[in-house]
Amino acid sequence: MELRITCIPGDGIGPEIVAEAKKVLDAVAVKYGHVMHYTDILMGGASIDVHGVPLTEEAVKTAKSADAVLMGSIGGDTTTSPWYKLPPNLRPEAGLLGIRKALNLFANLRPAVLYEELAGACPLKEEISAAGFDMMIMRELTGGLYFGERKTVEENGIRKAIDTLTYDENEIRRIAIKGFDIARKRRKKVTSVDKANVLDSSRLWRKVVEEVAEDYPDVTLEHMLVDNCAMQLVKDPAQFDVILTENMFGDILSDEASMVTGSIGMLASASLNDTKFGLYEPSHGSAPDIAGQDIANPIATVLSASMMLRYSFDLDQEADAIDHAVKSVLQAGYRTADIMSEGCERVGCRRMGDLLAERI
């Protein structure tokens, strides 16, 4: 199979971690008989330095011509970088918002996995962390409160702010279908999170999700109110498989879930459109303070590449090979600086990439 991948190395540690993800993908290609075609584009600060803008039309065109996009990290030090003296629409992060819009990426996937070898970093009680967890938070990315009409007015001398939360059934249906499709690749359970006891938008959300569920008789559906879900994430995270929710709830819950893993350097993410196309990136930032020092952790980017194989190319066996390589390296006691613990061997970014590629 030929895989056309647009790569966005980006800023900070981005070029380092993307290079290691490519190394692992190349090992997959050799073992399973695939051909990888990579095309690099500039985005964020790297694009500002060359083109004066964080995202060019040519870069968007190149991304659209690929089967998937693999990204490193965007941005720099907000207090010292000259990028942040520019107007907001010309700063690095504007490139990320721009490409998400251009590629119509409406479904955000944030896995939260607690590896047995890293359980000591989990902030939860040992009796909870001992059970481990492996969940996927599916967040609607382009609707809801963040994109509704908003205004600030003054009435009778009193300032009033208005934000509108709007969803139509088509927006809900397409994210629900993605959620159920992904549950079929996992443990076949969807927890739909809403606030249906209060919000009309949540009542419509629940109704449409139930309609979609009828087409997936092999997938178990449960509903959970968002406040209860926030509690359950710290009380019993092992109960969750796919958490399906709207934009603002997903924003909050995915950050909570990432914290209970204890290590953001291990967390991948993806944003998908209504085809198989997706943009895959680590959940962490650009870490400009350690850029170029060969100490970054590439595992989140490597796991993002695994998600790319699984969800954009339906190469589940190849994705499993990457996931197993990560577990094998951790079991062997190799650690980058951010996940280092007593009795383990510290390795750099490039060496970690080598170790992962060797285990494919």
Q: Which tens digits make up the pLDDT trace of 318-359?
A: 999 999 999 999 999 999 999 888 899 999 999 999 999 999
From the list 59, 73, 61, the residue with the least C-alpha distance to 21 is 73
284 and 259, same structural domain? no
* Active site annotation includes 227: yes
* Active site annotation includes 195: yes
Output the CA–CA distances (angstroms, integers) from residue 60 to 21, 49, 65, in the order listed.
Answer: 22, 17, 9
Query: pLDDT tier at 121 (50, 70, 90 boundaries)?
Result: confident
Among 200, 227, 236, 289, which one carries the catalytic annotation? 227
Give the end of a domain, one of 244, 266, 288.
266
186 and 86, same structural domain? no
Among 163, 200, 236, 255, which one carries the catalytic annotation? 255
> Quick one: tokens of 273?
């459109």
Calculate what percentage of the chain has a pLDDT beyond 70: 100
* Whole-number pLDDT of residue 131: 86
Sheet strands (E) in the chain: 2-10, 35-40, 68-73, 107-114, 133-140, 150-155, 158-163, 189-194, 220-225, 242-245, 268-272, 278-282, 334-335, 345-346
**C-alpha angle with apex 95: 12 to 140, nearest 5 degrees?**
105
Give the end of a domain, one of 266, 287, 314.
266
pLDDT (mean) for 95-104: 91
Amino acid at 54: P
Among 22, 23, 178, 195, which one carries the catalytic annotation? 195
Measured distance CA(326)–CA(267) in Å, rounded: 12
Among 115, 251, 280, 311, which one carries the catalytic annotation? 251
303 and 236, same structural domain? no
* Active site annotation includes 146: yes
* Whole-number pLDDT of residue 118: 86
Instruction: Flag whether 256 is in a domain.
Output: yes
295 and 249, same structural domain? no
Q: Under DSSP, is residue 27 helix (H, G, I), strand (E, B) or coil?
A: helix
Question: How much helix, strand and coil, in percent to the nearest 5, is found in the chain?
Answer: 50, 20, 30
Q: Return the number of other C-beta atoms located less than 10 Å from residue 215's C-beta.
A: 10
Among 146, 188, 338, 354, which one carries the catalytic annotation? 146
Instruction: Flag whether 82 is in a domain.
Output: yes
> Quick one: tokens of 262?
């204890």
Query: pLDDT tier at 120 (50, 70, 90 boundaries)?
Result: confident
Q: Residue 284: give the domain boundaries.
A: 1-103+277-360
CATH of residue 229's domain is: 3.40.718.10
Mean pLDDT over each residue of the chain, to the nearest integer: 95
Q: Under DSSP, is residue 153 helix (H, G, I), strand (E, B) or coil?
A: strand
315 and 252, same structural domain? no
Measured distance CA(47)–CA(255) in Å, rounded: 28
Instruction: State the total domains in the chain.
Output: 2
Instruction: Flag whether 200 is in a domain.
Output: yes
* Active site annotation includes 255: yes
283 and 173, same structural domain? no
